[in-house]
Amino acid sequence: MTHLKIDRPRRMTLEGVAAIRSFIARGRIQVIGTDDDNVTLDVSEIDQHPISVQHQDGLLLLGHHGTGMQQLVRGRLRHRPPQHAVIYLAVPRDCALDLWSVSADVLAGGSRGEVQVHNGEGETTLDRLSGAVEVETSSGHVDAIDLSGDVEIRSVSGTVALYATPRRTRALKLSSVSGDISICLPETADARVHLESVNGRVSSQFEGIVPVKMPGHHKAKGDIGSGSASIWASSVSGRVVLLNGGRLDDTESTGIAD
């Protein structure tokens, strides 16, 4: 078992890591999948609050000392003195990620493992992920591109932008309370689409997605192509927009590809 505290900028390598769970209050954490079997941890910025690192039985736990899942869920960290760190992780592509943040920016890319992000006010950026993705955010913006697994994103007031190419049987589920939701699909996409908002505007640039008259709701649904994938987007008061991104070249891959 490895157990240490990092209180200054430091770079280290860890072996035998199959899953990572991080708890970062403020700052930035970037996790990139690589072909290396080891994990490289690089803490480039840190304030007076140390980062705790624990590694046992394939699970790497890291985060601000005294920060944990219960404290983040219950919002207890919002009233503490600022805890700031900038962390970069290079991980094996199949490594599972469970990333928690109060207001830190979270970036994850190049991974095949399952990815979960729980973010309060920080921005979340996801790029080139092929495993299942689940994101929960309060007011932070979510930007997702080139995701090829099932995706579920839940937001309170943060905006959600998804750029995808559903060509397989995939499920994309996006929801918000007041945050706007935008989905950009290529002209050649295959998806069964359901869009709705109670008080917000619902619009689509695809002819196959038609408005559905329903008292007290704005709704549109229909099929694009064969309808093999599933896209469901819903908001209480935010706008829900489906954009036509045009035709992709055969060599171009943006989103859920074959």
Each residue's pLDDT tens digit, 154-206: 999 999 999 986 556 589 999 999 999 999 998 888 889 999 999 999 999 99
CA atoms of 131 and 86, how far apart (whole Å): 25
CA atoms of 145 and 153, how far apart (whole Å): 13
Residue (of 122, 26, 127, 37) closest to 83 by Cα position:
26
What is the H or E stretch that residue 3 is in? Answer: strand 2-6
Contact predicate 237/175, CB 8 Å: no
How much is the pLDDT for 215? Answer: 84
At 190 the three-state DSSP class reads: coil
CB atoms within 10 A of CB 246: 10
Burial of 13 (0-12, 13-18, 19+ CB in 10 A): exposed
Q: What's the pTM?
A: 0.88
CA atoms of 229 and 192, how far apart (whole Å): 6
CB atoms within 10 A of CB 82: 12
CA atoms of 226 and 183, how far apart (whole Å): 18
What is the H or E stretch that residue 38 is in? Answer: none
Degrees, nearest 5: CA angle 232-72-28? 80
How much is the pLDDT for 70? Answer: 52
Contact predicate 183/242, CB 8 Å: yes
- Cβ neighbours for 86, distance < 8 A, ≥ 6 positions apart: 27, 28, 29, 43, 44, 45, 46
Torsion sign over Cα 34, 35, 39, 40: negative
- Cβ neighbours for 62, distance < 8 A, ≥ 6 positions apart: 20, 21, 22, 23, 41, 51, 52, 53, 54, 87
At position 46, the amino acid (one-letter code) is I
- Which regions of the chain are under pLDDT 70? 65-82, 165-169, 248-258
User: CA dist 176 to 11, 12, 33, 48, 134, Å?
Assistant: 38, 39, 29, 36, 14
